[in-house]
Structure 1
Amino acid sequence: MSQKTYYSQGSSFPATKPGVLRIYSMRFCPYAQRTRLVLNHKNIPHEIVNIKLKNKPDWFLALNPLGQVPVLQIDDKIVPESTADCDWLDDVYPENRLQSADPYRRAWDRVLTEYISKVSASFRGALLSNDPSEIQTNIEGVKKHLQFYEDKLKARGDGPFFGGSKPCIFDFMFWPTFVRLPFIAIIKENPAANIDENEFPTLETWAKAMKELPAIKDDGFDIERQAKFFRGHVKGAPDYDMFLGK
């Protein structure tokens, strides 16, 4: 099935195939990107069904009443939500393990994942505000929360990844948020929002290492295209078909 087709209200349910893993996704969604990255990093065969989130099919809401992507499906098993998805994938497809064998480190990876909401709140606060003072406050909030990650990664001392010499599940949880932070500078035309690599040198080394991972390269993230989609999303008119075939 074409990964470039979007399903919306009124569309027919695309029949599943026995034993074939499917992800219900949306190309511009950071949460769906998390699961796609884990699928690709672990080389798990799968198919993609893209959903128009502003005009969801009824059959998709039956799969996940929350109406959110990502959702994984294989036969009669359905797993929604990116953190649950990625944990489940790592357990069911244990090769190239992403979760630490150390219970303490695994617990802290979950803490780090929960803290992403702090970054996201400041990020969205800066993007959705038109008040210069509020935008600046949220930019400072983003950098404050990045300092938290800078300090935690530096303290681990076995990088370049949060997982050490190899990425762990948190690396793929954080990347979709981190890589979208330049939206603020682009959309608000505010150079002060740019992340100074000298201010966060450990995160800069991490980002360079992440960009070299095949899963990251294959995902084809383009910041300008993503920002263009986000502008439409904020206005309530997201163009899901943007750049299809390109």
Structure 2
Amino acid sequence: MSQKAYSQGSTFPATKPGVLRIYSMRFCPYAERTRLVLSHKNIPHEIVNINLKSKPDWFLALNPLGQVPVLQIDDKIVPESTATCDWLDDVYPENRLQPADPYRRAWDRVYASYNGSLLSNDPFELHTNLEGVKKHLQFFEDKLRARGDGPFFGGSKPCIFDFMFWPTFVRLPIIAIIKENPAANIDENEFPTLETWAKAMKELPAIKDDAFDVERHAIFFRGHVKGTPDYDMFLDE
């Protein structure tokens, strides 16, 4: 199946019985969360990318909000990144990502909510208030250090929140590039626990297989800001 994004007027790509599908967009941080969980848990799936500026009618029929990610298998449809990640962990319980401790699981939900405030309603519009960004990072620095069983928020192994936070964290340096402000770069000496976490995350096969580097994210982001995002960027390389 082509990685190119399906747009308005395209024909619905027929599903196959029993085959899990994710409707995604290659640069979307929310869809990236779900793709990372799929990859980390080695769940067989196919990917259908969507042009979010010119959404196909058949995609809007699946999710009237017009947002990715959306999971589909047979007659089951699950939208939204948190719901899709939790559903995948419940339906495919091997290599469990949700903490067994209810208290820890509850706090992971709190972390996810706080992480969400780093992104506006537009998933690519990062806050440019550096003090606000650093306040969020300090929160996660302190919480991860307090858990004390790292390097991951899940301890010796990643949990769902690790994959929820990563797409946000990896996009923060875009501020430094777009605003041409080196001060926006994350100082590893200021957040040493998060730096150790980031190094451990980068070694995970799911991260290596899915992630773009910050420069490519910035190239896409510039097009998005101008209203001309290229959803098929870099596919011809």
Q: Which residue of 2 aligns with 1:213?
A: 204
Normalised TM-score (structure 1): 0.93
Structure 1 counterpart SS, 2:126: helix
5+ unaligned residues in a row in structure 2: which ranges? none
**1:197 aligns to 2:169 (yes or no):** no
Normalised TM-score (structure 2): 0.96
Structure 2 counterpart of 1:183, one-letter code: I
Name the count of aligned residue pairs: 233
Q: Which residue of 2 aligns with 1:66?
A: 65
Matched residues in 1 for 2:209 and 2:9: separation?
32
**1:119 aligns to 2:110 (yes or no):** no
Higher relative contact order structure (alpha carbons within 8 Å, sequence separation ≥ 6): 2
5+ unaligned residues in a row in structure 1: which ranges? 127-137
8 Å Cα contact 1:119-1:146 kept in structure 2: no
Structure 1 counterpart SS, 2:127: helix
Structure 2 counterpart of 1:225, one-letter code: R
Shift of 1:226: 1.1
For residues 154-233 of structure 1, what are the structure 2 equivalents within 5 Å?
Answer: 154-233=145-224
Q: Which residue of 2 aligns with 1:37?
A: 36
Calculate percent identity across the aligned residue pairs: 85
8 Å Cα contact 2:118-2:127 kept in structure 1: no
8 Å Cα contact 2:5-2:231 kept in structure 1: yes
Shift of 1:225: 1.2
Q: Which residue of 1 aligns with 2:132?
A: 141
Shift of 1:124: 2.2
Runs of 4+ in 1 over 2 A off after TM superposition: 117-121
Relative to total residues, which structure has the larger helix share, 1 or 2? Answer: 1
Matched residues in 2 for 1:9 and 1:238: separation?
15
Q: Which residue of 2 aligns with 1:235?
A: 226
Matched residues in 2 for 1:199 and 1:114: separation?
23
Structure 2 counterpart of 1:81, one-letter code: E
Structure 1 counterpart of 2:90, one-letter code: D
> Over the residues paired in the alignment, what is the CA RMSD in angstroms?
0.9
Structure 2 counterpart SS, 1:244: coil
Structure 2 counterpart SS, 1:23: strand
8 Å Cα contact 2:4-2:231 kept in structure 1: no
Structure 1 counterpart SS, 2:231: coil
Q: Which residue of 2 aligns with 1:110?
A: 109
Structure 2 counterpart of 1:244, one-letter code: L
Structure 2 counterpart SS, 1:99: coil
